[in-house]
């Protein structure tokens, strides 16, 4: 495996800056890696045919003496929920097959302006509905740690691309955990920023009050570098926060010194007992807490009594918003149109198109959402769910009076097998038990690798949550724990992942 693809974005940025390698070389190395492994992993729905030209352009600008961003020339994978002018954007759905957007999502425009090289569009559950990427209309992505297992979802493509060294950086979106849960099962870092911290303009909406775009990377510093590029006020997003954010890369660098753990109050939720988690996940979580305690952090038990109702409230609010957001796929304005034989009415065309273009999970949620919003049920379902949402927000407010961050395992289990939960929506939904409350409350969350589960040897993530607007705190704490964990591991966690070649050989051996 070439050294280039093993580098973090920060390292690659420095080498590019120093002129030790060119962006064309860096981009080519990642394209070669994609060509070598993506038939197995299927992280990408589309590989950008313009990537090398974009890289050459950055090399020219650098040669001309332009002052470029610290990660200019570094390749970036983009979740297919984000619209792009030069590559199709499908959101994992047949209804948008081949759709070319007339504009770039703000985060994509900012990435291009900072000199990042769009490498391609990554696979996802259709319209970001799912926790395994099995709901993609284009076939599942596989976990680079074990190709028989799921890479998480909905952003399994972005997480797998980063974990398989196909891209050093990726963009994801997180409505209920789609950045953090894939990070957990693939041994990568994922951040859901404060609601309003990163523009949603050009992110194909799932549930507008919950959606947030964020970084997927191999290190906390890389996430900070990418967040610095994509974040900040955007007048095109009416929910964008108009404020000055600190540098998240600087916060990560500060955190890596380890000093921040001294006196840090880390909240652990009483109502989330170990019994709800796979033993290896709970053990890894407690080991990380122990490490933080050894460095001076104080572990404080807190109560968040409504946290456990998050999933139930979410599965009313999300389908309600999704059913409304997806109404625009009406066979007229975007993508697919199916015209039945005979003399079809507009309604016939619309219904045939939606029947053919949407997969089963999308249909399930549209039905749930329209039901929850219908006259006579609105107060009982949607109204109640909104009240629970407020109670969860109050739980967070009370907790953050007592602690600086809250810690939880990022998900209940390690990566499950493909096919294991696909026919059981409730089991699939319960995956997001610990990630959903952050979306309901609008607070930021980070998942960083905490090690390998002792029971099955697969990656486990630890999640930290902070008050709204305190994303920098997550970078400091995440980088501090990351540094402490690195000292206990023998090199980065992802170095322990079986190489994809080994996985292939092993599977062939079994057959
Ligand atoms: N898995 C969750 C769901 O299916 C979260 C999705 C997301 O964050 N986009 O809704």
Query: How do residues 179-198 score in pLDDT, each as one tens digit?
Result: 999 999 999 999 999 999 99
- Domain 7-307+391-510: which CATH number of 3.30.460.80, 3.90.1300.10, 3.30.800.10, 1.10.730.10: 3.90.1300.10
Q: Give the angle 388-394-397 at the CA atoms, nearest 5°.
A: 150
pLDDT band of residue 351 (cuts 50, 70, 90) is very high
Ligand 1 atom nearest to CA at 178: 8
Residue 167 CA, distance from chain mean position: 14
Q: Is the pLDDT of residue 511 over 50?
A: no
If you measure from the C-alpha of residue 155 to the centroid of ligand 1, how many angstroms do you get, rounded to a whole number?
9
Helix (H, G, I), strand (E, B) or coil at 506: helix
- Ligand 1 center to 427 CA (angstroms): 13
For ligand 1, is residue 128 a contact (CB within 6 Å)? yes
Q: Which pLDDT band, with edges at 50, 70 and 90, does 510 fall under?
A: very low
Q: Which atom of ligand 1 is nearest to the CA of 129?
A: 4
Nearest alpha carbon, ligand 1 atom 5 = 176
Q: Take atom 4 of ligand 1 and give the residue whose Cα is closest.
A: 130
What distance in angstroms lies between residue 206's CA and the mean position of ligand 1's atoms? 9
Where in the chain are the domains? 7-307+391-510, 309-390
pLDDT for residue 1 = 55
Which ligand 1 atom is the nearest neighbour of the CA of 439? 8
User: For the residues 85-101, what does the mean pLDDT come to?
Assistant: 97
Give residue-wise pLDDT tens across range 105-133.
999 999 999 999 999 999 999 999 999 99
Q: How far is the C-alpha of 394 from the C-alpha of 303, rounded, in Å?
A: 11
User: What pairs with residue 463 in β-bridges?
Assistant: 408, 447
Q: Is 177 touching ligand 1 by the criterion CB < 6 Å? A: yes
Q: What's the rounded mean pLDDT across residues 343-363?
A: 97
User: Can you say how many angstroms the Cα of residue 338 is from the centroid of all Cα atoms in its chain?
Assistant: 33
Mean of the per-residue pLDDT values for the chain? Answer: 95
- pLDDT value of position 96: 98
Mean pLDDT in residue range 146-155 = 97
* 465-491 average pLDDT score: 96
The answer to whether the CB of 206 is under 6 A from ligand 1 is yes
Ligand 1: centre distance to CA 429 (Å): 8
What are the catalytic residues?
79, 154, 178
Q: Is the pLDDT of residue 499 over 80?
A: no
Torsional sign, CA 122, 448, 191, 271: positive
From the alpha carbon of 431, which atom of ligand 1 is closest? 1
CB 200 within 8 A of CB 208: yes
């Amino acid at each position: 495996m070439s050294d280039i693809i093993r580098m973090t974005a920060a390292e690659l940025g420095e080498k590019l800056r120093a002129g030790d390698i060119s962006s064309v070389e860096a981009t080519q190395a990642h394209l070669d890696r994609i060509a070598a492994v993506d038939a197995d992993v299927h992280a990408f729905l589309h590989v950008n045919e313009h990537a090398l030209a974009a890289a050459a352009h950055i090399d020219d600008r650098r040669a001309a003496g332009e002052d470029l961003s610290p990660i200019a020339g570094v390749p970036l994978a983009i979740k297919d929920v984000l619209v792009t002018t030069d590559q199709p954007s499908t959101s994992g759905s047949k209804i948008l097959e081949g759709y070319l957007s007339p504009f770039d999502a703000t985060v994509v425009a900012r990435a291009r302006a900072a000199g990042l090289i769009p490498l391609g569009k990554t696979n996802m559950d259709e319209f970001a509905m799912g926790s395994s990427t099995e709901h993609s209309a284009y076939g599942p992505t596989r976990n680079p740690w074990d190709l028989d297992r799921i890479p998480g979802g909905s952003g399994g493509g972005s997480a797998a691309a980063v974990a398989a060294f196909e891209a050093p950086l990726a963009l994801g979106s997180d409505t209920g955990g789609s950045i953090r849960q894939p990070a957990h099962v693939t041994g990568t870092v994922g951040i859901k920023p404060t609601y309003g911290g990163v523009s949603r303009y050009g992110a194909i909406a799932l549930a507008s009050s919950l959606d947030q775009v964020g970084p997927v990377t191999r290190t906390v510093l890389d996430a900070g570098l990418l967040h610095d590029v994509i974040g900040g006020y955007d007048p095109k997003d009416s929910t964008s926060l108009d404020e000055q954010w600190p540098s998240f890369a600087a916060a990560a660098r500060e955190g890596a010194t380890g000093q921040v753990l001294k006196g840090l109050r880390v909240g652990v939720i009483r109502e989330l007992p170990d019994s709800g988690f796979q033993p290896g996940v709970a053990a890894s979580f407690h080991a990380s807490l122990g490490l933080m305690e050894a460095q001076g952090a104080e572990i404080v038990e807190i109560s968040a009594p409504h946290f456990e109702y998050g999933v139930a409230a979410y599965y009313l609010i999300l389908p309600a918003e999704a059913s409304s957001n997806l109404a625009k796929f009406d066979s007229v304005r975007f993508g697919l149109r199916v015209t039945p034989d005979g003399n079809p009415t507009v309604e016939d065309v619309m219904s045939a198109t939606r029947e053919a273009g949407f997969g089963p999970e999308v249909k399930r949620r549209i039905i749930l959402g329209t039901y929850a919003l219908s006259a006579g049920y609105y107060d009982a379902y949607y109204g109640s769910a909104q009240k629970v949402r407020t109670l969860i927000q109050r739980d967070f407010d009370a907790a953050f009076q007592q602690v600086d961050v809250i810690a939880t395992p990022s998900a209940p289990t390690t990566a499950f097998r493909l096919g294991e939960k696909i026919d059981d929506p409730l089991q699939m939904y319960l995956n997001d038990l610990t990630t959903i409350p952050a979306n309901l409350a609008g607070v930021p969350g980070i998942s960083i690798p905490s090690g390998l589960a002792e029971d099955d040897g697969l990656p486990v993530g630890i999640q930290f949550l902070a008050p709204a607007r305190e994303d920098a705190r997550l970078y400091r704490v995440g980088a501090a724990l990351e540094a402490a964990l690195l000292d206990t591991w023998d090199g980065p966690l992802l170095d322990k992942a079986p190489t994809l070649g080994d996985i292939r050989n092993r599977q062939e051996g079994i057959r």
